[in-house]
Each structure stands twice: as C-alpha cells, then as structure tokens.
Amino acid sequence: MARSEPAEEQVVIEGVPMVAALVPGDGIGLLALHGSNEGGTAELARTVARRCGATSLVFTQPGARRPVHVTSPRMAADRCALLREFLDRVSLTVSLHGHMRPGAPRTVFLGGGNRAAARVLAEALAAHVPHFPAVTDLAAIPSALRGVHPRNPVNLTRLGGVQVELPLLARTGGAADLPPGEVVEALAAGVTELGRAAHRGPGLTG
C-alpha cells in the first residue's frame, strides 16, 4: 500500500550524512536534492507541492556548517529507500536547483529529459514572472545545468522530468531562504498544468 503520511530517512551518500523527507501527494513530484546547498529550493519544493497536492522529497544536511554538494547523478536510488519510493510514486519530476551564473542573474534554465514538460513550465513562468526569463533550448543551457544524465533522478520517473535551475533572486528574494511569492505562484501554476496534462494522456512523453 502506498504511504500516506510524511516520512524521514537518515542516509549516507558519498560519505555525506543527509536527511531525506518525503511528503506524499499526487503523481507530480517536487524534488530538492540539495536543500542545504542551494538556498530556497527545499522551501520551494515543500510549498509548491503543498499548494498543488503534489509529492515532495527534500534532502538536507542538518547541522552541517559547510554542506557538501553531491552531484545529482550520484544521488542514487539504491542508497535511499525514500528516493526509490518517490520515483515509484510519481509519474513526472520537477527537480529544483539553484545556480549562481554571473552572466544570468535572472535566468531560469529548464533542463531535464522531458522537453514538453519544460515548455509547460516555461509558459507558466512567462505568464507570472516574465522578469525571470526561462530558457528551454538545451544548447543554450550551460552543460553543467542541463540535467540530462541518465542516472539523474529527475529522469528516472515514468515520464522523466524537468530540472529547474533558479538564480538566487528567484529562490531567496535576496533574504534568507524565503522564496518570492510570485515564483511560488508561477511554479504552482506550472505544476498544476503538468498534472492536468499528465492525466490527459501522451502529450508529455518527451
């Protein structure tokens, strides 16, 4: 039987102690693999999932003075039972990350294997936060931010997913780790539309 209550798991990945926190919901999943490294991503994953009734999984390193960045492809499902459960539960993943590219202080890069889903999120961002332009062309996204590695968890659900690389201003508002409300609204609108599209049929297959 599928879990219906939140759960936590202490894991060690690449020698780094972490806590994975799963909040079950519907078939779209919000994932924050680097919640302690990339400010605002954990809060965005939790908040957007709660708004949409979606599933969220957040990894943090509580108490770490200098959180270690374990690359996404190394966050393997065989090392975390809750990650395996997340991947089994959801049909499509929206994986939230943060970037600090000096030449792109307001640009949101939308990578990951599901390009149709990336375009859905881009439309929502354009409608709600046009001052944070979204890039969906993989050739225009820095290679380290494309999220297309086959072992990256964003690509391991049935419909794959979208790796959302957010600049600092779009995930913290420049203060603490509190995401701007307008970004929350934009992502919630996009995730809601992804949920509708996933229910309609094969339109999000790539």
Mean pLDDT, range 16-29, rounded to an integer: 96
Across the range 85-99, mean pLDDT stands at 97
Looking at residue 49, what is its pLDDT? 98
Judge whether 71 and 153 are in contact, CB under 8 Å: no
* Edge-to-edge strand ranges of the sheet holding 16-23: 7-13, 16-23, 54-60, 26-32, 92-99, 161-167, 108-111, 134-135
CA 2 to chain centre: 22
Contact (CB, 8 A) for 29 and 164: no
Q: Which of 1-10, 126-135, 176-185 has the highest mean pLDDT?
A: 126-135
Q: What are residue 183's phi and psi, to 5 degrees? A: -75, -40
Residues across the chain? 206
**Nearby residues of 150 by Cβ (< 8 Å), 6 or more positions away:** none
Of residues 98 and 205, more confidently modeled: 98
Residue 157 has pLDDT above 90, yes or no: yes
pLDDT in tens, 34-83: 999 999 999 999 999 999 999 999 999 998 999 999 999 999 888 899 99
Average pLDDT over residues 159-171: 96
Mean pLDDT value across the chain = 93
Nearest alpha carbon to residue 28 among 5, 4, 52, 46: 52
Whether the pLDDT of residue 174 is over 70: the answer is no
Domain ranges of the chain: 7-201
Average pLDDT over residues 174-181: 76
As to burial, measured by CB atoms within 10 angstroms (0-12 exposed, 13-18 middle, 19+ buried), residue 104 is: middle
Q: What is the pTM of this model?
A: 0.95
- 57-65-29 Cα angle (round to 5): 10
CATH entry, 7-201, from 3.40.630.100, 3.90.226.10, 3.40.50.670, 3.10.20.30: 3.40.630.100
The span from the CA of 59 to the CA of 41, in Å, is 10
CA distance 107 to 99: 9
